[in-house]
Amino acid sequence: MARGGQGLARVAVVVRAGAAPLWWTGVVAAGIGAVPQGLTGRRIGVLAGAALFLLGAAGVALARRGRYTALARGAARAGKYDVLQDRAVTVRNWRRGHRWWLLLGGAAALGSAFAVPVAGGLLLAGLGAGLRLKAAWLGRLERAGQTLLWVRVDWLGRYGGRPAGKAVRGLRGTGVAAGDAAPGGARRRTAALV
C-alpha cells in the first residue's frame, strides 16, 4: 500500500460471509437427509437435529465475544492511506478460502443422515444462523460506539477468516459512513432522495 497504508476488511463482513453458505448447505443436506430412515428413525433425527441447531447457533453466536469486545475497545483510527476493502471482495475471499470445508461439511451431513436423519444438516444450518447472530451483535457494538470495525487483510490468513484470531493484534475504526457495508456487515441500502 502507498505510504504505509494497509488493506482493511470489515470484521462484521468477515463473520457474516459464512452465514449464507452454511445455512443453505445445511438446509439442503437436512432436506435430502430426511429421505433415509437411518438407524434412529426420522423422528429422533429431527429432534436431535433441532437440539444441534440450537447448540450450534448459540455456541457460534457467543464464542469469543470477550475478545471482540476487547479488540473493539482498543481500535485505533484508520489511517489516511489505509484502503477499505469492498464487501463483495471480503465475502468472495472468505468463500473461496472455505469452499472445501463447506463441501466436506455438506458431504458429512449427508453421510450422517444414514445414521441420524436430518441432524447433520440442521447442525450446519445452526452454525450459519450463529454467524448471522454474531454479525448482528457486532452491528450493535458498532452502532453503540459509532465506529465501524476493520481488520488488516494480511492478518486474516490465507483462508480470509478469523477476524479475532491470534494473528490479529488490533482493529482499526472508521466513521459509520465508511465503506459499502452497514453496521453488522449487511449490504448498505442507498438512501432514497426526498
Angle between helices 119-145 and 19-33 (to 10 degrees): 160
Which pLDDT score, from 0 to 100, does residue 193 have? 39
Q: What confidence tens digit (pLDDT) does each residue in 161-189 have? A: 889 888 899 999 998 888 888 888 888 77
| C-beta separation of 58 from 130 below 8 A | yes
Which pLDDT score, from 0 to 100, does residue 155 have? 92
Which pLDDT score, from 0 to 100, does residue 190 have? 59
Instruction: State how far the Cα of 110 lies from the Cα of 121, in Å rounded to an integer.
Output: 7
Which positions ≥6 away from 179 have C-beta within 8 Å?
10, 84, 86, 87, 148, 150, 188
Which pLDDT score, from 0 to 100, does residue 3 have? 53
Which pLDDT score, from 0 to 100, does residue 4 have? 57
Instruction: State how far the Cα of 34 lies from the Cα of 41, in Å rounded to an integer.
Output: 10
Angle between helices 87-112 and 119-145 (to 10 degrees): 150
Give the three cell numbers for residue 188.
Answer: 448498505
Which pLDDT score, from 0 to 100, does residue 180 have? 86
Per-10-residue mean pLDDT for the chain, 194 residues long?
72 95 95 88 92 97 94 90 92 93 94 92 96 96 93 88 89 88 80 40
pTM of the predicted model, to two decimals? 0.89
Nearest-10 Cα torsion for 6, 10, 15, 17: -100
Residue 14: name the closest of 191, 179, 144 by CA: 179
